[in-house]
Amino acid sequence: MLPTAITSLIALLGISPNSISDPRIIFALMFILTMIYTQRRKNEYSQFLVSATILSALACFISKDIFYASIFVAFFHEIRRGLIWDLPLYTCAGVLFFTIYSLINNLLIPVSNIIFIALAGGLSAALMESIKTETDKRVLVLIALATTFAIFRIYIPNASIEALTIAFAISFLLSLMALKVNIADESGLMSATLVGTITILFTSLKFFAILLFFYLVGSAITKYKYSLKELLGIAEPSGGARGFSNVFGNSLAPLFFALNYGTTGEEIFAFAFVASVATALGDTMASEIGKTANNVYLITNFKKVKPGTNGGISVIGEISAFLGCILVAFLSLVLGILNLEYFAIVVFSAFLAIHLDSFLGATLEIRGYLNNSAVNFLATLFGGVICVLFAWY
């Protein structure tokens, strides 16, 4: 605990209004601490101290509050207890840091902004705590905090505390229900809460409804002939419960388009959001239903392969993919996110991106260069990008 406590104090020195707060001095202090501690005591804190030193070096060039906040909040890993405790613990630590930073530097940072950034950081840190891994979680928490704080210092929603509370409550409660019925695991709960809260704050409940529709239908489709897929050894693990990897793989691209729509107001990003989610649902339906097909062919050479093979396509899978695209686009049309003029573009873009997913699965994923979540992310990203390109030209 002592090394993280010292780094936390050094981070606080970095936001003080006196001369010692020079980022170069803070970096020197962090570097000296790391050298002394890691050379004399090679133990579990070494990776954390090196990571903290690297972040303090970045603070010399980029907004220092982001990195010092990450180092300060990461200390609270030492008193973690569990899911229900970790989220408020990390969030309160973030609120404490940014409040102190605002007060001693005479900055008028809105309370709602402080709470939003702290909550986003708290969710990302709690997510890292919920992941089962042999990697030092102090490092994971530190990197997650730095990344989250950096992103949301750029994208700050114009929302009140009440709106933030409502957005978080809706996302957390629905994610908790998903955990209870085995649609998501603990890491899925944290990541879905983060994605849902941000989507609602930057856009509206309509956009959140599109994401929710994807996860509900996607989870239901996963159960389709699950016993058969389990018998064949190609069923999703844990009964199909979504973890953070699955949530982020399918949601980061839609979230990117939602953020840009919320900050620019450009309608094209709303259409790209729909196309991205349509890609996710179409791909999920194609995969889960296609696994039960008798005749599956590899997309690169159309040779017959076993059901469940990465990059495999089938007639029923193609129909399912197209249906998934249609369902998301139709719901978006009903909710007023999408207009009839761009309906076909969204459906075609998503359907095309699904085949890109299959191509990546048959080439890069099958060779181990990409995992399934990375392929899903690229496919959903390209679904939105293709939509933007078609809409522009």
Residue-wise pLDDT tens digits, 9-21: 888 777 777 767 7
| Model confidence at 241: pLDDT above 70 | no
Least confident of 143-157, 168-182, 225-239, 245-259: 225-239
Q: Judge contact between 257 and 266, C-beta under 8 A.
A: no
Q: What average pLDDT does the structure give for the chain?
A: 82
Max distance between CA atoms of the chain, in angstroms, equals 72
Note whether 275 and 346 are within 8 A (CB). Answer: yes
**181-235: pLDDT as tens digits:** 777 777 777 778 888 888 888 888 999 999 999 988 888 887 766 566 556 555 5
pLDDT tens readout for residues 85-125: 788 888 899 999 888 888 887 877 788 888 888 888 888 88
Q: What's residue 159's pLDDT?
A: 65
pLDDT over 60 (residue 41): no
Compute φ and ψ for 297, nearest 5 degrees.
Answer: -125, 140
pLDDT at residue 262 greater than cutoff 80: yes
Strands 304-305, 296-298: pairing is antiparallel
**Is residue 333 within 8 Å of 340, Cβ to Cβ?**
yes
| H helices present in the chain, as ranges | 2-13, 23-40, 46-58, 64-74, 83-104, 111-130, 137-154, 161-180, 186-202, 205-222, 226-232, 244-264, 267-290, 315-335, 343-360, 372-392
Q: Judge whether residue 37 has pLDDT over 80.
A: no
Predicted confidence at residue 306, as pLDDT, reads 83
* DSSP annotation string for 245-285: HHHHHHHHHHHHHHHHHHHH--HHHHHHHHHHHHHHHHHHH
Confidence tier at 259 by pLDDT (50, 70, 90): confident
Lowest mean pLDDT among 239-243, 248-252, 356-360, 366-370: 239-243
Q: What's residue 19's pLDDT?
A: 63
User: Is residue 329 very low, low, confident or very high in pLDDT (cuts 50, 70, 90)?
Assistant: very high
Poorest-confidence range of 25-34, 130-139, 230-239, 263-272? 230-239
